[in-house]
Amino acid sequence: MLKHGTEPIQGLFMFGWETLAYMLFGMVALKSGFIAGEWGDAAYRKRR
């Protein structure tokens, strides 16, 4: 138990930032209407 006691905290520092970034991207996509399907068909097909 003592040998691996810090692994959850190490995992948080290693992968926590990536998880936070994905959650923020998801919140922006939901707020803008991309996930909810509120955009028109042309906006989904638009390429830059």
DSSP for the chain reads --TTTTHHHHHHHHHHHHHHHHHHHHHHHHHHTTTTT-S-HHHHH---
**Whole-number pLDDT of residue 22:** 96
Per the structure, how many domains does the chain have?
A: 1
The model's pTM is: 0.63
Domain span holding position 39? 14-45
**Whole-number pLDDT of residue 19:** 92
Residues 6+ away with beta carbon under 8 Å from 30? 36
User: Looking at the domain assignment, is residue 40 inside a domain?
Assistant: yes
Question: What proportion of the chain, given as a percentage, has pLDDT over 90?
Answer: 35
User: Looking at the domain assignment, is residue 22 inside a domain?
Assistant: yes
User: Looking at the domain assignment, is residue 1 inside a domain?
Assistant: no
- Residue 46, pLDDT > 80, answer no
